[in-house]
Amino acid sequence: MTPVLRAGPVSQARFEALGILVRVEEDRAFADIALEHALEKARLDPREAALCTEIVYGTLRWQRQLDWRLAPQLRRPMAKLDPWVRALLRLTAYQLLFLDRIPRWAAVDEAVSLARLKSRTPGPAEFVNAVLRSLTRAQAPPPLPDSPAASAGVRWSFPDWLAARWIARYGQQEAEALMAALCERPPLTVRANTLRCSRDALAARLREEELVETRPTALAPEGLVVERGSPGRWRAFADGSCTVQDEASMLVARLLAPRPGDVAADTCAAPGTKATHLAQLMDNRGAIIAMDPQAARLRLVAKSATRLGLTIVECHTGPVETLAKGWRGRCDRVLVDAPCSNLGVLRRNPEVKWRRTEDDLRRLQQKQRAILAAAASLAKPGGRLVYATCSLEPEENEDVVRPFLGCHRDWRVDAPEGFPVAPDPLGLVRLLPHVHGTDGFSAIRLRRLASA
């Protein structure tokens, strides 16, 4: 029998990462929320917090490939293991295969120590030790599946159904480029609050106060890509000079093109990044009607608006289908950032790809169609509406907008001119991670015809 290493000290980063991964799988917790709560409670130093974050997201991103590499070392399927053992094997395999800063012996030794902490009997620790040592001795990975979709799914760690549909739509090469981009660590981007400072002034301040280097985003004029750092600890964040937002998300408010003095509705407003951007573009003049069915998440909108010094954001709890009657025909601009599969933001929410199924796209479509129809009733004649999702899937975009236009003859596509990303023939603007370096987003602008 392979001897078990003597249990040594366990780093808090790996201990917390194990607990988070178990919560994500067992409780279907969202990784970002579970991570935030765990780090806040554990009060890890910045280096340990960064390692914990890397292990959690890396393990989730590469889960399928990790299982494929571990499978030959196991005598029973991964699905039959205790959840904490499965998570421990995966997170350690991630360190062994993807992180070169951690010596292999140290990663295995610490995994054994964690197993001894988790179990009163020696069996799990012996099992973990044997499997991981076998993995470190493996000369080559196992053969890939014969199917092009399954092979790409293993190499880029995606479910077969998603790999197959992207290959069918984009072709093998581009589909793999998309999958590769969605496995990358996403950049940290912030939006300068131009009511308080310019983008250049924010960059200079971050360099001086936080020793943080930045570069301008390529498409959004308010954005900065940050080399490193924790925005929640910055003075510039605390005083409302900036907020965290991906570049693709910044372009959605710009597509709506609100004007100072407008009445604008954000019908799915939480957590508030787009609602506050609209208020910023409106020079904090007019009104933003921020709607969301979840009261707890809507409080985040109000909190963000207060921090950024925005006074025109009004929060209203409830779905737009219920609230629409109170605002019918009163809005100059309407934003529908529809709830969706989130398949365009997998680099930030990698656990989603292990939860979604193709049936979810059809299920979500019905909700999206209802939201769009209700939101459209808010617009004045001549008003604009932007429908957007953080999904690239046609079922959630074209297949929602086309039926709407077919049933609402007073609405037309209002394709933008001179926009940083050119619309397709339908008028849809698509942000692609492997092309634009942003999250995956789809958005289309519509205009209600003026009364005769």
The two structure tokens encoding residue 344: 């365009």
Annotation marks residue 390 as catalytic: yes
Count Cα neighbours of 236 within 13 Å in the Cβ-side half-sphere: 28
State CA 304 to chain mean position distance: 19
Q: How far apart are CA 363 and CA 340, in angstroms?
A: 10
Q: How far apart are CA 417 and CA 433, in angstroms?
A: 22
- Alpha-helix runs per DSSP H in 282-350: 295-307, 320-323
Q: How far apart are CA 32 and CA 227, in angstroms?
A: 20
Q: How far apart are CA 98 and CA 102, in angstroms?
A: 10
Q: How far apart are CA 422 and CA 107, in angstroms?
A: 47
**Token pair 């939101």 in the structure block, residue:** 375
Instruction: Find out whether 242 and 192 touch, Cβ atoms under 8 Å.
Output: yes
| β-strands 441-448, 242-244 pairing | unpaired
Q: Which residues does 169 contact at the CB level (< 8 Å), separation at least 6?
A: 175
Q: How far apart are CA 193 and CA 103, in angstroms?
A: 43
Q: Choose the catalytic residue: 52, 340, 390, 407.
A: 390
Q: At what angle do helices 63-70 and 123-137 cross, to 10 degrees?
A: 90
The two structure tokens encoding residue 130: 């044997």
Q: How far apart are CA 79 and CA 67, in angstroms?
A: 10
Instruction: Find out whether 189 and 247 touch, Cβ atoms under 8 Å.
Output: yes
Q: How far apart are CA 228 and CA 446, in angstroms?
A: 38
Which H or E element spans position 163?
helix 160-170
Residues catalogued as catalytic: 390
